[in-house]
Structure 1
């Protein structure tokens, strides 16, 4: 806790300086803010079209905007930053010239509120990007100055002024002057016409285009300018030109696409017509109506013929078997039992019935007549005729069936000839149809795209939208007055505190007892506070005399040497007042004055002056003998020694003393002095060395210190 308080002492002591510096810093910041050019910022929020969500995803709007695609936010930001789009926007705003009103401390740009108008034509670009001066001396005349030139060129309002590389026409802004009652015309102005390169640099420096969020198709366009109207005007114009440029590009692309599609459709139509003619010619040449239907019909016909052939073949085989059977049993025909399944016509059936009837009649007649009977023979003749007819009929039937079978075979062979070359026909026809279908698909596709492109060309709309237009800012974004003032105050605070502590540690004075004890093993005998009145001085030194006696420092016949390191004036106060205190206690003292400063302070009997130069040649033994001789009459000897730094007799008297008091001033003595005393003590074996700290806890006002320095150095 004591250490913390000790560290706070420089701060508390320098508190007036800290407050003063903070006040000066705040006043300087306010003065700075009065003359610094503020920067204003305006923001436009631009929503990009998204074909995946919202209105553009509807089919109708997809048709109207067929060239829209899912916008990549980063890509659109680069488009907004592109030099092409920025230049288009700059052509729409009057940023190529700047007019300033020049003051003694501040130059302000006049945008839209200038009492003068300036137009310029340039023969060379060297005349651009130069700050020309104009001193208006009346409402009719002015003086023109080149940059960094004191030589003026006279001019009149409304008359062209020719200079190197340019011609200017300077006129009064009558509408503005009439609208302002107390407008000041006579003043000093500056103006500059900017080249495209410099204008682009200024815009790019202050333009910031960022997405609201990486997943949200909304872009924030920010612009900073010392003129708030310019910032708002440009960001709105840039967003407007972005949408306009999008529509123009879409219309241009749609128009180009329509023209291209028209040509392609015409070419495709010619190819499609040619393909149709090729198919027609091939069908006419090959007599093809419908290959599939014709093939199916021919296959059906051949199949039917083969079925008929098979049936006839079966009947033919049955007839052949029947004919062979009958031919084998021709002599005994009536005993045969042939299978007439293959010979089933009605005539044959009736003949068989008649044969069976005649055969039955014969049997009946034979029961009455003999075989030679005329009636029996007539029946036999009838049977023979029927049998012969039957046999011949079977033979003829076989021949007819054979003929039919052969005819069917020929017909099938002839029908199968139709399929000769059919795969090649199908191949050729497939190729022709494929070519036709390809041209037809291409033709239909191109017509669909042509319709879409014509719709897009007719629909001059865009789904990009300005959702928040920029407004003219009323409050500057830089400098921010509150922050600047607070920062100035804090900088004053920290700067002054740092400076105070730097000075404090640079001075490295013996400020307190802790500093002495930290740097030395020599104890502190007494610590004297800062004393103002005589009463305080007498009371304090009597108290310190008692303290020294209690510490065993004051004994009979003791020699007490009082010294300091830098100047003998530093310990004069203690030498004189300690001698007074001991004398007031009733002690019989003698004062040895090595400096001659106490000559008139004590009676002659109790005072010895050793400041004469002759004592410089004395040895330690000579001083010791003389002191012992004098001390025989006194109880206590006090030596007011020289400064140790002079090193003439100081160390000698210190070696002769019983007790050595080294006075350190808390405001004057350097911290390194403590270490020097420690080294001297060890080197010269000085007896009973004690420190005395003068002006304990004394922290004079900084203003008092300044006043003292002023008197010491300035007034002299």
Structure 2
């Protein structure tokens, strides 16, 4: 039942005072502050103490959940290695003037190396060097385990149709090196029994299972399965588990790590990536040197043939003329002619070089190595003596180098960048071709001029002795070709030495090691999370029980949440033995209940002197809190002390006092107030000579109006002449106004609170009656208190009041609700 709000309580008080407004004024704001507000630390500690077993259980459940998660989760292992890119050595080889270290350029180069490691070039070599095309698994109860390198059989296959790539083939080993193979073809399962090393034909493959050194006869009835992966699946697997990142740009270090459920497989893949990357870098480093050596080899062969021809001509002339003598006046002319011919040879080499450069420009690229210059790629380019051409060739070289990097790390979204660089290459190549054509034309003009001058000199030499002239003519090409040949030989030796000393431009600082512990799940973290969840749930349980603890359970809570003094405590009693309130103090005067009520009787002496007539009212908030039980037994204890006591049952809507004494209720207060019976006619005797009672009588339609009738005061005055103590069992004040009206007329108003049954919100009524209603002598009694003061209460004597209508008059009356049955119903009732 809900407790009346402030306005309803004030209305009750105004009714009690006849609507005159004589009630005490409303309490000020500080006085209106709720008693007992704030954190109840003792209650919290008590709830925590009683929740400790549940908290411990939740912690154990959290640990059990963590163990279960670890048991049924595949561990992930990670193997890592660290490599260092030797950027300083590359810069030294470039040897470009005015070169300044650029950190951003270094970062870009490292990013390019990262993309190279994660490219299909590395993946394809991994597929060729590691057995990643077939995965072997041993099936367990819950999880399967990959067998990397220790499978009892090996699958050899040839592809017929790639329709069964990435599908599961189940293998069950049988006795005698036999096995059963099953797989799905569409929705149909196909299986068959075969012998190891026997060819098996499937719609997609020709298979053959070959036993390995791990095979034994004890593996019979073991179940395995394998999958044959295509290149796309392997690339996806590598991309998903491979991590390549720049560790320190300043130190040019890159970290390579791979994650897998099998630690041996993760380590093998990382080590193989390091070795494959090493081979790729070596190939890239030697490719430019190979091209340069091929160019020098061609020039050397051509120059050797020309030198041999010149030597043969000179040898033939000497053999025929058998002389080396020449006239002195031929010396100067011969020298001039020799100079002209040397100059012409230079121009011819220049023309040949222009032709070769033009041919190279028309090709895809000039150089293959990032660390070569244009002069290193094309020996003799400086002979052209054209700074503009050299500059354009350098620009073309850089553009082609940039183009190669983009193509090596090509991404689908880089198409626009590729087109832009292709346009730049085309414009630069056109400019270089134009300059080459201009230089070639100039060289041809200079050669023509030299030819004209040589013709003039030759004409002069014809007049000289023919032998000397012919000898000098034959010696000049021999000397020229010999010098060129030696120069080319020096270059060949230099590049061969360079080729022999080619090393990769990176170092493996720390190779991959076998991971000992998984990176996921981390056992310590999982157990810590399990403990944390258990602790949070335990604290939530404590907080929930504390917040849902809305009933009064002990005298400390009663004192804390109420401003009225506590008159005493009545211990718990057995509801099974007392279906209704009974007088029990006379049957067992030494029981705990009797002693507790005697203590209440003693405390009454401090409220009202026993030498005077005392009028006591006993009420509660709702029905079921034990006011009738306390009234009957308190009256019995007082009567046993030789005082004359009468109990009046004014709960005319639901009378119970007659039930406590197993008496009838045919007449009583209601018939007295309507003058149907006299007071003496309605007094009933009990087993205790000094204890009498008056029952409520038949339920009237207007109980409140009867109590306000002057006949009620006359009845009390008449009873005061005959009895020392008058105890009035009033209706609950939380439901009707009768209780408040009666409390105005008595000397000692007593408010009953039942432990484990009365809501804490009910105590607000007590504070409001004391502060707002002027009931300064109002006291409280805690009924049905357990020894522990917290849990395990009895719930006898009914629950609450209901409302209905009777007698056809329209006046309300209340009736007791049935007691809830079952644990859930009681819990719902308790926390409602």
Distance in 2, matches of 1:658 and 1:703, equals 32
Matched ranges for 1:19-418 at <5 A:
19-51=56-88, 72-120=109-157, 127-136=164-173, 138=175, 139-142=177-180, 144-146=182-184, 153-158=191-196, 159-162=198-201, 166-167=204-205, 169=207, 171=209, 173-178=211-216, 183-256=218-291, 258-259=293-294, 268=350, 270-271=352-353, 277=447, 280-281=450-451, 284=454
Q: Deviations along 1:464-485, whole A, 9 cap, x unmatched? A: 2223222222322222223322
Distance in 1, matches of 2:764 and 2:547, equals 16
Distance in 2, matches of 1:18 and 1:680, equals 41
Residue 624 (structure 2) aligns with: 568
Structure 1 residues 588 and 169: CA distance shift in structure 2, 3 A = farther
- C-alpha contact 1:132 1:147 (8 A) present in aligned 2: no
- C-alpha contact 2:79 2:257 (8 A) present in aligned 1: yes
Give the alignment's Cα RMSD to 1 decimal: 5.0
Q: Verify: 1:462 aligned to 2:504, yes or no.
A: yes
SS in structure 2 at match of 1:176: coil
Q: Deviations along 1:15-71, whole A, 9 cap, x unmatched? A: 11101111222233223322221122222122222326xxx7888999xxxxxx967
Residue 590 (structure 1) aligns with: 646
- C-alpha contact 1:559 1:657 (8 A) present in aligned 2: yes
**Normalised TM-score (structure 2):** 0.54
Structure 1 residues 170 and 565: CA distance shift in structure 2, 3 A = farther
Structure 1 residues 268 and 105: CA distance shift in structure 2, 3 A = same
| Displacement after TM superposition at 1:224 (Å) | 2.0
| Displacement after TM superposition at 1:506 (Å) | 3.5
- C-alpha contact 1:596 1:609 (8 A) present in aligned 2: no
Q: Deviations along 1:349-406, whole A, 9 cap, x unmatched? A: xxxxxxxxxxxxxxxxxxxxxxxxxxxxxxxxxxxxxxxxxxxxxxxxxxxxxxxxxx
- C-alpha contact 1:509 1:667 (8 A) present in aligned 2: yes
SS in structure 2 at match of 1:568: coil
| Displacement after TM superposition at 1:449 (Å) | 8.7
Q: Verify: 1:599 aligned to 2:660, yes or no.
A: yes
- C-alpha contact 2:573 2:794 (8 A) present in aligned 1: no
Residue 671 (structure 1) aligns with: 760
| Displacement after TM superposition at 1:248 (Å) | 1.7
Structure 1 residues 667 and 211: CA distance shift in structure 2, 3 A = farther
- C-alpha contact 1:29 1:485 (8 A) present in aligned 2: yes
CA radius of gyration, larger in: 1
- C-alpha contact 2:114 2:245 (8 A) present in aligned 1: yes
Distance in 1, matches of 2:238 and 2:702, equals 88
Q: Verify: 1:637 aligned to 2:675, yes or no.
A: no
| Displacement after TM superposition at 1:228 (Å) | 1.0
| Displacement after TM superposition at 1:7 (Å) | 3.2
Q: Verify: 1:472 aligned to 2:514, yes or no.
A: yes
Q: Deviations along 1:75-111, whole A, 9 cap, x unmatched? A: 4333323344234324422233333333333332222
Structure 1 residues 530 and 457: CA distance shift in structure 2, 3 A = farther
| Displacement after TM superposition at 1:570 (Å) | 5.0
Structure 1, unmatched stretches of 5+, are 63-68, 289-442
Distance in 1, matches of 2:599 and 2:737, equals 33
Structure 1 residues 687 and 8: CA distance shift in structure 2, 3 A = closer
- C-alpha contact 2:166 2:229 (8 A) present in aligned 1: yes
| Displacement after TM superposition at 1:229 (Å) | 1.0
Structure 2, unmatched stretches of 5+, are 1-37, 97-104, 303-348, 354-382, 385-442, 459-484, 575-589, 663-685, 796-819, 827-832
Matched ranges for 1:508-523 at <5 A:
508-510=550-552, 522-523=563-564
Distance in 1, matches of 2:569 and 2:188, equals 70
Q: Deviations along 1:418-451, whole A, 9 cap, x unmatched? A: xxxxxxxxxxxxxxxxxxxxxxxxx999999987
Deviates more, 1:136-145 or 1:524-533: 524-533
Matched ranges for 1:696-715 at <5 A:
698=788, 700=790, 712=823
Distance in 2, matches of 1:547 and 1:223, equals 83
| Displacement after TM superposition at 1:647 (Å) | 4.8
**Normalised TM-score (structure 1):** 0.62
Matched ranges for 1:512-591 at <5 A:
522-526=563-567, 528=569, 535-551=591-607, 556-569=612-625, 571=627, 574-575=630-631, 578-579=634-635, 581-583=637-639, 586-591=642-647
- C-alpha contact 2:241 2:259 (8 A) present in aligned 1: yes
